[in-house]
Amino acid sequence: MKIDIILMASGASKRYGKENKLLHMLNDKPVFTYALENAVDMRNKLKDVIDNIFVVSRFDEIEKICAGYDNVKYIYNSHSREGISASIHEGIKASGRENALMFMVCDQPWLTIDTLIGFTAGFLASGKTLGAVRSSENEICNPCIFAPLWRKELELIQGDKGGKSIINKNIEDVYFYGCENGAELMDIDQKNFVISIVGAGGKTSLMYCLAKMYSENNMNVLMTTTTHIYKPERYKYAADEEQLHKIWGRGGIAVMGKPCRDNKLSRPDNIEKYIAMADVAVVEADGSRGMPCKVPYDHEPVILDESNMVIGVIGIDSLGKKLKDVCYGSERAAALLGVDEDHILTTSDIAEILSSPKGTMKNIGDKKYYAVINKCDTPGLRAKGREIKEILGKRGIKSFICSLKDSVYLIENTGGVVYG
């Protein structure tokens, strides 16, 4: 079976502001170019499989970029205002009738060629007629493949809908390729992404972990705080905007904060300005005085309005110990749980802290929230972590069981929230 690749590059980028996100410069080249070069690389490596590459767009700048590549066919989308379906229809019309269709969006600059080749090879070997990449959270993502028999159904799609509606209705016919590194599947819908980390028992380790992941995916990463953090030794400190850009220019991870006592950094002046310059800003937004558990006071946590995601952390080493010995804000934790401060923490208690608007979900508003259960270093602790995870899942909260150390590694797949 031959496959035609259809790159869909007609989107209005409404959430990205006035700038066309596909033309936004990322590491000295337009975001769109990453998808195009992946498609060309696939054809070079899978010559017997990949037939045509079509780019469906309405932008002159995209057409000019395509002109620099051999055998890439540009298709002008005159009906782009009709939504995603218009791009699908234009791609179908251009493609050979006997070929399968791989639809790729063009705002996933961190998607790797290894993932694309693995997905394509797996689909062909599966005997299935539909294919999709799936995150570890079982979310159906792009790209997707449709065998020729699905063309008629694709042609019936209307408005701003894509082929996932067909996939969802025909799950038994779908080959799913699991992508373990969720950062690959991130789109670039926003100019910068801000993650605030709250709670206790691994906030700083998680901040380092996330910064490493995003930096390895060619993003300009800023680590900072709205409270206090120790000045990291392993990353470069930026005292001003000039130093910030120098660090990023060398591919480094930048740290910003106002120097204070005990080699610590506090919230920098103009923090909003600096996080707006980053592709990803990771912000430690809570303090816990080194304890593995926390329930916040009235003035805590300090979550920036610009935050897109909040991650609540707790150390499972607080399990089986007295509240007063392991929990910062133990009197508040006792009130939350309806116990006294001599109470021994259980898995249900930890789940309650991680899911309560008086616990690590305090002040999150409508921001995306994840819970991280850290220090699950042994099989026994991992089993307890899964108990907590199960309780949180019943409450609609996604959580991850981790062991975050200096040599960061995964305990359970995190879909990009934690990486090692």
pLDDT, tens digit (0-9, with 9 covering 90-100), for 221-237: 999 999 999 998 889 99
Does pTM top 0.75 for this prediction?
Answer: no
Please name which of 133, 135, 146, 30 lies closest in space to residue 88, comparing C-alpha atoms.
Answer: 146
What architecture is domain 193-410?
3-Layer(aba) Sandwich (3.40)
Say what the pLDDT of residue 344 is: 97
Q: Which residues contact 179 (CB under 8 A, 6 or more apart)?
A: 115, 133, 134, 135, 136, 141, 185
Say what the pLDDT of residue 39 is: 97
pLDDT digits (tens, 9 = 90+) for 91-126: 999 997 899 999 999 988 889 999 999 999 999 999
Say what the pLDDT of residue 365 is: 94
Whether 366 has a pLDDT exceeding 80, the answer reads: yes
Say what the pLDDT of residue 18 is: 62
What value does the mean pLDDT of the chain take?
A: 90
Say what the pLDDT of residue 242 is: 95
- Structural domain boundaries in the chain: 3-185, 193-410
Beta bridge partners of 76: 57
Average pLDDT over residues 137-146: 88
When pLDDT is cut at 50, 70 and 90, the band that residue 136 belongs to is low
Read off φ and ψ for residue 57, nearest 5 degrees.
-155, 175
Say what the pLDDT of residue 191 is: 59
Whether 406 has a pLDDT exceeding 50, the answer reads: no
Average pLDDT over residues 270-297: 93
Whether 408 has a pLDDT exceeding 70, the answer reads: no
Average pLDDT over residues 238-255: 93
Please name which of 201, 186, 264, 262 lies closest in space to residue 227, comparing C-alpha atoms.
Answer: 264
- Domain 3-185 identical in fold to domain 193-410: no
Which of 84-98, 313-327, 388-402 tops mean pLDDT? 313-327
Say what the pLDDT of residue 356 is: 97
Average pLDDT over residues 362-382: 92
Whether 146 has a pLDDT exceeding 80, the answer reads: yes
Whether 70 has a pLDDT exceeding 70, the answer reads: yes
Whether 411 has a pLDDT exceeding 80, the answer reads: no
When pLDDT is cut at 50, 70 and 90, the band that residue 380 belongs to is very high
CATH code of the region 3-185: 3.90.550.10
Percent pLDDT > 90 in the chain is 72
Whether 12 has a pLDDT exceeding 70, the answer reads: no
| Cα–Cα distance, 195 to 184 (Å, whole number) | 17
When pLDDT is cut at 50, 70 and 90, the band that residue 210 belongs to is confident
Cα–Cα distances in Å, from 286 out to 8, 192, 406, 413?
41, 21, 21, 25
Q: What is the 3-state secondary structure (H, E, C) of 248-298?
A: HHCCCCEECCEEECCCEEECCCCHHHHHHHCCEEEEECCCCCCCCEECCCC
Average pLDDT over residues 374-400: 92
